[in-house]
Chains A and B, each alone.
Chain A
Amino acid sequence: MDDILLKKIKRAKGNIALSIGAILLSLFFFVESNRIKDGAHSVVSSKLFPRIYAGVMLVCALAILVNAIKAYSSVPKEIRDKDKLTKESIAGYGRVLAVFAVLLVTAIVYKPLGFLTVTPFTMFLIFIIIEKPEKRNYPLFLGLSIFCPIVVYFAFYYLFSNLLPMGILKPFLIQFM
C-alpha cells in the first residue's frame, strides 16, 4: 500500500517542480516576446507563434500544478513524511551536478584553451565521477583521455577539413597543419 502512495507522492512532487519550472519559462518567453521587432512586410507577426506556444505552455503547466497539488494533499501526512531524499540519492544528484559542472566549464574554456587542452580533463573527470572509487582504473582513464581527443582532433582536421579550436596549443599544433 505504502509503495503506491509513495509513488504517488514522488510523482506529485516531480510534477509540482516541473510545472513551476514550466510556468516560469513560459512567463519568461512571454515577456521576452515583447522585445521581438516585427518585419514590415509580413501579415503574421514574429511574436505570434512564440506567444501561442508560451500561452499554451502556461495553461498546461497550471493544469499539471493543480492536479499535482490535489494529488499531494490527498496523501496522508505520515506517508508524505516518509518520502525523504536518502543519503544515496543526495550523493547521486551531487554527481549529476558534477557532470553538468564539468560540461559547463568545458563549454566556457573550450575556445580559449583549445580542444586538446580541455577535453582530456573533461573525459578524465567524467570517468572519475561515474566510476566507483574501488573500480577506477586510472592508467586506462588517463590513456583514453589523452588518446581519444588526439585521434578525434586530427581525424576532424584531415578527414572533415574541420579545425577544432587550437587555443593555447596553437604555436605547437600549427606545425602539423
Chain B
Amino acid sequence: MEGVQLFGNGLSTILTNPQYLLLVVVFVALGILLGALPGISVNLSLILCLPMTYTMDSETAMTVLIACYVGALSGGLISAIALNIPGTTSSIATCFDGHPLARKGEAGRAIGVGILTSTVGGVLSYIMLILVTPLMASIALEFGHWEYFAIGIFCLTMIIDIAGEDVLKGILAALFGMVLACTGNDPINGSVRFNLGFRALDGGVVMTALMCGMFAVPEIMKLAYNRDDESLGRMKVEKFRGYGIGFKDYLAQWKNVLRSTLIGTYVGLLPGIGASSASLLSYTTAKAQSKNKDEFGKGSYEGLIASETANNACMGGAMIPMLALGIPGSSAAAILMNALTLHKVSCGPLVFSQSGDLIYFVFAVCLVSVVVMCVVERLLLNGYLKVLGAPRRILMVVVILMCLVGSYSSRNNVMDVFVFAIGGTIGYFLQKVHISSAPIILGFIIGPIIELNFARAINLSRGHWQDIFSRPITMIFLVVALLAFANSIRKTAKASKERRAAEAAAEKI
C-alpha cells in the first residue's frame, strides 16, 4: 500500500504543478510529431530531448523524457495505419489491419480507435503495475533463459500464423529475417558472421534500416509499377467524430482489451522481449478467440484494438525490469536509464527503497502522459489527416527521404543505406509472391531472442540440454507452440484443399 500512497503523492505533485503539466503537454505533442515521421525512431526522439534535461532536476528531467517517450511510441500508429510504414517496431502488428482500413477510406477512424485503445491499454497497465508490481516482478524473476527461448519459439509460431494462407512461405519469410539477424558479431562468442567481407557489416544489419526499407520502399515501388492507376493518387479520408468508435461498440471489446492489456503488461515485464512481440502475441490471440477470424488482416477493428492496446500496455511493464533489475529491455529504456543515472538514481533491486519517491513519480508521469496523449493526439489528428490527404506520390517521396535519413542516422553508417535500398527491393519482390514484410521483420526481432537465450541456457547448464524438460513454464510454452504450429498446418492444408477443388472445377468447365 506504500506504493499506492507514493503514487498518489506523485500524481498530486504533477496535477497541482502547472510547470509539470505544461511540460507533459509540450513533450507528448513533440513525441507524437516525431514518432509519426517514418524513420524517426523513439530513440532519436529521446536523444533530441536528453541534452535539454542535463540542467534540470530529476523530476523535471524524467517528466520531459517520459512524456516524449509516450508520445513517440504512440505516434508510430499514425504512419503504420496511414502509410503502412510502422513508425516503431511495436506498431508492426498495427499495420496488419490498420492499413487495410485506411485503404477503405477509414484512416481517420482507425487512427482514432488506435489512440483511444492505446490510452486504455496504457492506463490499465499502469494501474495494474502500481497495484501488483511486487507480485509481477517476482513471477518475472522465475523466467530464465530456457523460458525466454520458449517464448521466442512460441512467438515464431505466431508469426507463421499471421503470414497468410501458406505456412511454408511464412516459415521461409521468418527464417529469412532470422538469418539476416545473424549478420555481424555473434552475441555469445563475438565471432563475425556473414559480413561478406565488409567491416561495416560487423555490427550486423540495423533494425531501423531494414524496417524502413522493407515497408517504405515497396510502397514507392508499387506506385512506380502502377503509375497509371489513378486510385493510388490520393488517400481518401472520411469525416468522423470523437475517436471513431461509440462507447457501446468499444465496451463490446472489453474481453479483447483486457486480454491485450494483460499480455502487453506481462510481456513488458520480461526484459528483452519487447513491445513488437507483445502486440504480435496479443493480435494472434485475439484472432484465435474471435468469431470473425476471416476479417483479420483485411481491416478488422478487433485486430487493431488488440495490437495497439498491447503495445502501449507493454510500455508500463517495461519500466519494471529497467527500474527494479537494472536491465533495459530496449534501447529506448537504456536511454531512460542513462538519464536516471545522470540524476544519481541507480536502477536495480534497491531502487524502490532508495528512490521510491522518484520511481512512483515516474509512474505518475507515465499515467498522466498517456491521458494527455489521448487528447493531444486526437487534436493533432485533423492536421495529420490533411497532410495524408496530399497527393500520395508526393507524400511517399518525402517519406522515402525521411526513411533514408533515418536509416543512415541510426548509427551513421552508409551500409545502412544499402540495407535500406536492397532490403526494400527484396521486400517488394517478396510481396509480389504474397510474402509480406511483417514476418521477415518479426523473424529479425525474434531470431536473436531464440539464439541468445538458447546459447546462454546451454552454457549455464554446461551443455545439458535435457534441463529443458525440468522447466514447466518452458514446456508449457513449447507444447502450446507445437499445437499452434499444427493448427497452422491444418488450416493451410484445408485452404489449399479448397483451392485445389476450385481449380479442378474450373479445369472441368
Q: Give chain A's interface residues, CB within 8 Å of chain B.
A: 1, 4-5, 8, 11, 14-15, 17-18, 22, 25, 29, 32-33, 36-39, 41-44, 46, 49-50, 53-54, 56-57, 60-61, 63-64, 67, 74, 76, 88, 92-93, 95-96, 98-100, 103-104, 106-107, 110-111, 115, 119, 122-123, 126-127, 129-132, 140, 144, 148-149, 152, 156, 159-162, 164-165
Assess whether B227 is in contact with A95, with CB atoms less than 8 Å apart: yes
Contact B188 A119 (CB under 8 A): no
Binds A, one of B110-118, B379-387, B411-419: B411-419
B51 within 8 A of A: yes
A60 / chain B contacts, CB cutoff of 8 Å: 168, 171-172, 175
6 pairs of residues in contact across A and B, judged by CB atoms under 8 Å: A36-B191, A37-B192, A95-B225, A99-B221, A160-B47, A164-B409
Assess whether A130 is in contact with B409, with CB atoms less than 8 Å apart. no
A106 to B194, Cβ gap below 8 A?
A: no
Contacts of B401 in A (CB 8 A): 119, 122-123, 148-149, 152
Number of B interface residues at 8 Å Cβ cutoff, please give it.
71
Q: Are A107 and B414 in contact (CB under 8 A)?
A: yes
Is B459 positioned at the interface, with any CB of A under 8 Å from its CB? yes
Contact A46 B459, beta carbon cutoff 8 Å: no
Write out the residue numbers on chain B whose beta carbons fall within 8 Å of the beta carbon of A17.
Answer: 433
Residues of chain A lying within 8 A (CB to CB) of residue B178: 49, 53
A172–chain B nearest beta-carbon distance, Å: 20
Asked if B179 and A110 make an inter-chain contact with CB atoms under 8 angstroms apart, the answer reads no
List residues 108-139 of chain B with CB under 8 A from any CB of chain A. Answer: none
**What are the 10 tightest A-B residue pairs by CB atom distance, in nearest-first order?**
A39-B189, A103-B421, A92-B225, A14-B433, A95-B224, A4-B506, A107-B417, A46-B186, A46-B191, A44-B455
User: CA of A100 to CA of B186 in the docked complex: distance in angstroms?
Assistant: 31
B228 and A64 contacting across the interface, CB-CB below 8 Å: no
Which of B71-79, B292-300, B348-356, B390-398 participates in binding chain A?
Answer: B390-398
Please tell me if B435 contacts chain A, counting CB pairs below 8 Å: yes
Contact B405 A56 (CB under 8 A): no
With A46-B186, A106-B417, A164-B405: A56-B225 Cβ-Cβ less than 8 Å: no
Q: Which residues of B contact A4 (CB under 8 A)?
A: 502-503, 506
Contact residues in B for A140 (Cβ distance below 8 Å):
394
CB distance from B215 to the nearest CB of A (A): 14
A123, B371: Cα distance in complex, Å: 39
Q: Is A49's CB under 8 angstroms from B182's CB?
A: yes
User: Which residues from chain A contact B450 at a C-beta distance below 8 Å?
Assistant: 49
With both beta carbons as reference points, the residue of chain A lying nearest to B462 in the complex is identified as A43
Q: A36 → chain B, closest Cβ, in Å?
A: 5
Give the docked Cα–Cα distance between A33 and B191 (Å).
Answer: 11
Per-position 1/0 for B60-96, Cβ under 8 A of A:
0000000000000000000000000000000000000
CB neighbours of A61 from chain B (8 A): 172
Interface positions of B (Cβ within 8 A of A): 44, 47-48, 51, 168-169, 171-172, 175-176, 178-179, 182, 186, 188-194, 217, 220-221, 223-228, 393-394, 396-398, 400-402, 404-405, 408-409, 412, 414, 417-418, 420-422, 424-425, 428, 430, 432-435, 447, 450-451, 454-455, 458-459, 462-463, 502-503, 506-507, 509
Contact across chains for B175 and A156 when beta carbons are under 8 A apart: no
Separation of A119 and B420 alpha carbons in the complex (Å): 15
In the bound assembly, the distance between CA atoms of A82 and B243 in angstroms comes to 50
A99 partner residues in chain B, CB cutoff 8 A: 217, 220-221, 224
**Residues of B with C-beta under 8 A to A29:** 179, 194
* Among A53, A61, A63: residue with most chain B CB under 10 A: A53
- Give the distance in Å from the alpha carbon of A148 to the alpha carbon of B395 in the complex: 12
The smallest C-beta distance from B43 to any residue of chain A, in angstroms, reads: 10
Partner of A57, one of B176, B435, B451: B176
Cβ contacts under 8 Å, A14 to chain B: 432-434
Known contacts A36-B191, A50-B193, A5 near B507 by CB under 8 Å: yes
Residues on B with C-beta less than 8 A from A161 are: 47, 51
Q: How far is the CA of A165 from the CA of B188 in the complex (A)?
A: 34
Nearest Cβ on chain B to A54's Cβ, whole angstroms: 7
CA distance A14 to B430 in the complex (A): 9
Q: With contacts A1-B506, A110-B414 known, is A50 near B224, CB below 8 A?
A: no
- Closest beta carbon of chain A to B128's beta carbon, Å: 34
